[in-house]
Chain A
Amino acid sequence: MKRMPMLDSFTKYRELLNELTMREIKQRYKQSVLGYAWVILNPFFQMIVMSFVFSIIMRIPNLGVPYPIYLYAGLLPWTLFSNSLTSAANALVGNAGLITKIYFPREIFVISTILAKIVDFVLALSIFVVFMIFYHIPITWYILWVIPIFAIQQLFTYGLSLFLAAANLFYRDIQYLLSLIILIWMYLTPVIYSTELFPAKYRWIFQINPMSVIINAYRQVILAGDMPNLRSLAIALVLSVLLLIGGYKFFKKLEGVFADVV
């Protein structure tokens, strides 16, 4: 079988990946009193505040389901995405001590930080489930589509993270620029509104933005109990794979000098 060095992190270095992910997770709950509860409380309160603003003050029209759950279905994956990017951008800079000391594939730092965010996401999901039950949202078989949609989201996140982690090592501005980009990106993605509320002539933006395709697809399969838009999803998949290949090559090309510049 052809060797796939891209998968080494998950096979040959599985234990290391495991330990580094656990380190990310443990350091969080050890540093604060409420510890892991913050992971659930943060998106929850964000959702409460936004729901108040957009459904009671701004009065977003009826979207088929109660606004809090509509919002939550988009906000949770978006939070996972933005948290992953932010922490991945710092994954190499924050491990400078190890990078100059011992060799193992550097993308393990990026993967472990993303995995830790996925754990956060799964925990935050618990409140979403409670909301689903509370609002009596019917569950259909279409919900299984969540798995491939989530996989596409992770491919996209990982590809982008590889670019960001490597670039931030050379120019620390990347992390500040990133928080600005994430803010703008969120407003250009149907997280707090629906695609239909966006002016039709600008909707092409959503087509080339995998995050909007992904969030729409989640809502479609979970809340509407319907098929996702397969054509859009296929475009998102292709874009994500291309980005990942590019990101991986970029990362690996620079890897040899990480220890020199960190």
Chain B
Amino acid sequence: MTVEKEIIVETVGLTKKYGEITAVDNLNLKVEKGSIYGLLGPNGAGKTTTILMLLGLTEPTSGQALVAGYDATRNPLQVKSLVGYLPDNVGFYQELTGKDNLHYTAALNGLSKLEAEKRIHKALERVGLKKAGNRKVGEYSRGMRQRLGIADVLVKDPQLIIMDEPTLGIDPEGVQELLDIITSLARDDGRTVLISSHLLHQIQQICDKVGIFVKGNLIASGSVDQLGQQLFRGKLLQLELKTEPAGETLIQLCKSIDGVKSITKQGDLLVLECSSDIRNQLLEKLIYEKYRLLHLCLRSISLDSIYLRYFQKEEGHYGQISYVAKNQLGNQ
């Protein structure tokens, strides 16, 4: 039995053109309430434009963006009071303290001083900036500023939080903290979170659903598993394998398994294309032959490979992105 979930964000044929260039092309997007939705795509794919249209900050050329039933172009104020927006490279007034910056936001939202004080205290505590709240923002690190950005969004107590590249330029530890906060916003508070990013791994960890965005088109949408199944149905599975010792004997061993169609070497990884999931058989054989297993991964369900697949379809422009994605694969 499936329960129809409430839709909080819906776009209908949303299109934005800048002169000749189409930044967003006939976008139909649906985001369920309480979920974390990842908007993925390379730079310049139209993610930020979409977000700005959802907030009513940019007028669509045609189509509609609905947030909680409000048309973002016609009722921008209602939409903006429901939505918290964390822009990429979020900025604060350097010469003011973190708290003062949040007070300004609270004032813009028409909160009373008492209510503002309460919410700011709570928000700062939540993002771990309780002590730094009275320091000037100019002294903050990038990670702290990003967390202050989340506190800024929380002051508003929004139903929907839109984050544009929230993890860009933050060290791994900071990213993990940030992701934990984002997850708790959705799971504990029941807020909907829409994240735009081109950093796949980070998004994959926390998103319920992702949409892949290329050249203004949403070319796939669904959970990571669904996307994998959609994409790889009837296709060969790809297994990455790395063992010690590697070499010709290993390739022979792999070939002896039923279902393996081809074996290619990519860097120090072996990539096996096979018609079914042969991981169990492979593992048994490897152990039997006393290989030390260093890496085994079914490529098809990783977001990377989904992403990569989609970008390979788009010839030309996204070659560079695919290359980056490949590198990330190598590091896995």
Bind each other: no
